[in-house]
Structure 1
Amino acid sequence: MTYWLLLHFGIAVAGAWMARHYALRGNLMDHPGERRSHTVATPRGGGIAIVAALLCAGGWLLWNGPDQGQGTLLPAFLVGLVLVAGIGWWDDHRPLSPASRLVVQAVAAGLLAMAAGRDSGDPLAAMIAFAAALVLVNVWNFMDGINGLAASQAAIAACGFAFSLQGDWAWLAAGLLAACLGFLPFNFPRARIFLGDVGSGALGFSLAALLAAGWTRSTAPWPLLCLPLCAFLVDAGFTLLRRMLIGERWWTPHVTHLYQSAARRFGHTAVTVIYAAFGGVTLLLTYLLSQEDARTALAATVCVYMGASAMWGILRRRVRG
């Protein structure tokens, strides 16, 4: 496992370095604006390094992994990853309409769902895979707005999956963890390159695939797998709901998430560390509750989400006040 982690860490480091130089040469930059949280022009597209690491991990596991290529979920994940990352890479170079991106994401989600349903024999697994892919791809895109936040939260979730899953998917989660850690020095505490849509979408899709795999491959009760996703789902979910209720164009870029308001007041580094601390608590709970029955795990997960929702409401009022 140590060599596996070092390999994918190294791929991500090398890939991020090359992506930064590519972006600088091609003027692939995110410029400051009223709908952005950064103040200096910064290269984007660095998430291609994480995609490269995941494709290497998935390709090797497909042929040599513990499961010896059994099942269709892993091949479907790799094809879907190429689709989601590819449309994100295109959007990083030449902005596309939200509808065109959503169509490609839906195709990738459909492939993942069909494979999840076929491998498990459970239609519910297919529905969860489809919903998780569409939701998490866009949540990670919405929440990728300050230094280190999206990559660190993906690393925390990947750590939970690596602990909870079995076979190929535990190894894939470990590869994702190492790749995120390899990218983070380029993005935190000072951002020398951003993930871009290629990276944020790929992270969300990868976590959705791990969540789908957990339906049949988890050693812990399945609801616990949702715990490390809590901070992003609560912030993105309530912010999106609020924007819908007040009639805003919710699909357009904005700076009204809790993490964005907090970053303007306290700085990027402090907010990313606070979110990471909350993620650490969810990891600890995942470990402590991993031997409990499904009913207890579900109740604990619901309680955590309710508590996080209450915290979101309180902190939003205080930060904006």
Structure 2
Amino acid sequence: MGEKHRVRFEPVGIDIDADEDETVLDAAFRHGVMLMHGCKEGQCGSCKSFMLSGDEGIEYELDRYSTFALPDYEKEQGMSLLCRAHAYDDLEVELLNYDEDMLRSGIPIQEFSTEVVANEPVTHDMRRLVLRLVDPPEIAFLAGQYVDIFVPGTGGHRAFSMANSPNDEDKHLEFVIKIYPDGFFSRFLDRQVSAGDRLTIKGPYGMCTMRDNPDKDVIFVGGGAGMAPLLSLIRSMAARGVERPATFYYGARTADDLCYRDEMHTMSERIPGFRFVEALSEPADGGSWDGPVGLISDVVDVNEDDLSGTDAYICGPPPMVEATVPVLVRHGVPEERIFYDKFTLTGSGDEEGGSDAA
């Protein structure tokens, strides 16, 4: 471990200590301070902040990052990425993007040893991975959050959202993971992972969690493996007896891409007023599908009217998220009440959950 330095976050007035060997973002996580973040690898810019004190290369240094996330002109103005910054002196940082509801509600990040309980298909190209916590035997997390799962012997990891509720008594973690033929983690999960194997995870991370707004309706919009965090949110609502009217729109290409249908169609028995709306963008010609057809953002647009005051949660591929946000805003959802996870593709062909969150 290196020397520790004080880092102060403004305008919120929070002080932490940061070791020279860890990034400022990791130091905040260690203290349970939930700063805005996404990829944690200098690629997305979610943790971009302004350095009120300290010069880059002297009081702090940056690991490698993408100039897409931090262009040179912003760096020259004093901007930095907290997921890449190492403090070598005391620093004062102005947070440009933060959520006061989440900031002090963070759970300290830990590593966990787990055992694989199940690795089974839920569709032709999505897996249900279930892990049992071994050491420590319990994890605290918020519905909608994710963890990094490491591939043994490589040092590599990918981020995946939990699908289970934090209220589950068995303390297992459930994931819904899309398999890509050339994906680094996909190949590992598809060909090597069996019940009884040990996997290391680290977390929890993520900002797409349920906000307290008891008198307002909720709308969920998902696609692909974006089912996982939305399942966690909905299951958590049911487990806690939350009775906010909620609608879940889930989009897939074909009927073979749909999953968790029985559970979602009966969720109204546990959440009064819950509706589950499935849509296919490419139903088979001559098939028996009689539900909505089209992109899920368009289905939301056609089926909804006034959503003023509604909270919205969107999880799935970036094009789906980016198409859905303006639809919800147009129907009256306040932009600050739209929370999302973009499940982006990594450079090695895997889809990650929780990699670009707001």
Under TM normalisation by the shorter chain, which class is it? under 0.3
**By percentage of residues, which structure has more strand?**
2
Task: Provide TM-score, normalisation by structure 1.
Answer: 0.27
Task: Provide TM-score, normalisation by structure 2.
Answer: 0.25
